[in-house]
Amino acid sequence: MRKIPVVVLSVIALAAASLTGCSASGSAACPRPAADPAVMDLITVTGDTDATPKVKVYTPFHTDDLQVEEVVAGDGNVITTSAQVAVLDVSLVSATTGERIVSTPYDGDLSRAVQISRWEQTFPQIGDIVQCAAEGSRIVAALPPGGIAPEAAPSLGVAGNDSAIVVVDVRKVHLARADGADQFNSDRGVPTVVRAPDGRPGVIIPDGAPPSDLVVQTIKKGDGEPLTADSLVRMHYTGITWADREVFHTTWDSEPASTTFDALVPGLAQALQGKTVGSQILVVVPPDLGYGDRGASGVEPGSTLVFVVDILGIDVRPAS
């Protein structure tokens, strides 16, 4: 993987350091497309939120603009970016016939967690539709022509000039970044973590030799569920080598990782035991608890490693 100089991350983050206190919970005003009552009154959605919705539409239905209305408000984690990972149930209804075209299983399976942006391959405006929605929310959206991706519309029987109705039930939402309370750490001779507005960490590694023992600092302490050895952890992390101060791997350029403890280097696995969802953890891993004498891609043998981990959630394992 291409190495990213730590100084680049640090400068970006420091330039926006005054914004790092913003909450990922959506406490600020959260924009969502306004619903036109004259349009949305033509759509009725009923039924339990854990089952396929019943949708009635005055047909033929048409809208020139995206219309979004929250039918049921949830109270869990909030969606603030399409980069988040979530479990959604979705039902698509024809605006021409009022018949259901397709829907997800609505079977309660919470192991189907994917980055919301993946849904954009079918519904390009999904980010706007679920913006500010919390776990437990039900949202109905009237899609204008083009609201379904051109590659998907023909297979769904939706013509290029047709509108459509989509109902989204938000089952589970992982955090976009660590949202815990900032913690004071007095240790000296360990790296400093700074953050960009989106939560991406930058790391400043001090001069001098690295610690010889495992170092674990809680930078932010979340109030979510604690991790156990059996947890399937959803997390963002950045790994840096102490000696060359370069990033050898980061998930912040893609989807947050979903991993088991036995897939981590021993020092990182040890450091994350018992830590809570919503926390950000700094870990300095000595060579014997890292990749040791064998090294790894982008990591020289005998390297001391530095990790910054945002614990975003705990995934549900697929049924066997």
The answer to whether 24 and 176 have CB atoms below 8 angstroms apart is yes
**Residue 128 and residue 182 in one domain:** no
27 in a structural domain: no
Residues 168 and 55 in one domain: yes
**How far is residue 170's CA from residue 14's CA, in Å, rounded to a whole number?**
34
Say what the pTM is.
0.88
CB atoms within 10 A of CB 248: 21
Strand partners, 103: 91
C-alpha–C-alpha distance, residues 47 and 191, integer Å: 52
Q: Sorting pLDDT into bands at 50, 70 and 90, what band is 153?
A: very high
What is the spatial distance between Cα 28 and Cα 87, in angstroms, rounded to a whole number?
24
Domain containing 112 — which CATH number? 3.10.50.40
Q: How far apart are the C-alpha atoms of 310 and 29, rounded to whole Å?
A: 24
Q: Is 195 exposed, middle or buried (0-12, 13-18, 19+ CB in 10 A)?
A: buried
- Does residue 15 surpass a pLDDT of 70? no
The residue-averaged pLDDT of 313-318 equals 95
Residue 320 belongs to some domain of the structure: no
The Cα–Cα gap between 204 and 212 comes to 18
The number of angstroms, rounded, from the C-alpha of 269 to the middle of its chain's C-alpha atoms is: 21
Both 166 and 183 in one domain: the answer is no
One domain, residues 165 and 220: no
Which structural domain, as residue segments, surrounds residue 54?
Answer: 37-173
CA 219 vs CA 62, 101, 129: distances in Å:
50, 47, 33
Task: Kindly indicate the confidence band of residue 5, based on its pLDDT and cuts at 50, 70 and 90.
Answer: very low
- Whether residue 60 is preceded by a cis peptide bond, meaning omega within 30 degrees of 0, is yes
Which residue, of 143, 173, 203, is where some domain finishes? Answer: 173
pLDDT at 47 over 50: yes
Examine the pLDDT at 7 and tell me if it is beyond 50: no
